Structure 1
Amino acid sequence: MQTILAQYLPLAYEAAQARRIRSDRNVRLRVADVLVNKANDLRDAERIAVAIAYRQGLRDVPGQPGFPKRVIWPEVPDAIVDLVPKSE
């Protein structure tokens, strides 16, 4: 029994960690969607491209080598950081 538990416990932990990271990523994606919409409203092609690339970087997080044990979060690029909604 302990052998089976020892075998599956790390897998369960890794699955829980992956769910937690995906949940965090989903929150960041909602913000990224706002950034893309704001850049679109400004009709600034460069900022739109930067916002879309940032959002894609977030979408690609689960595909990173080492996920979920190692995650490198994309930074909000300087070109769009002023579009980030202010927390209330």
Structure 2
Amino acid sequence: MLRLYNPRPRQPLVDWTWTVRILSAYSLAVFALVWLAMINPKISVWISEGAEAELAMAVSPDVAPETQIAQPFAPMRATQVVERFYK
């Protein structure tokens, strides 16, 4: 098979160096949070309270609040159609 000379090398679809950096930064942050939760017991209490508060807000209330319907300021009147525009 004959290959033609290509002066420009193919560009990769993903820049793996940045992908690895971002992934390692996230994993380091998660590892640090888990380590802090294991070291200090108060942090695990804060996390559980935050999760409870978040899940409690997701549940809808059993009784809906009373709705208020807006009333018009003045009584509404029916208008007549001018027939000369429709002939």
Higher Cα Rg: structure 1 or 2?
A: 2
With normalisation by structure 2, the TM-score equals 0.35
Higher relative contact order (CA 8 A, sep 6+): 1
Higher helix share: 1
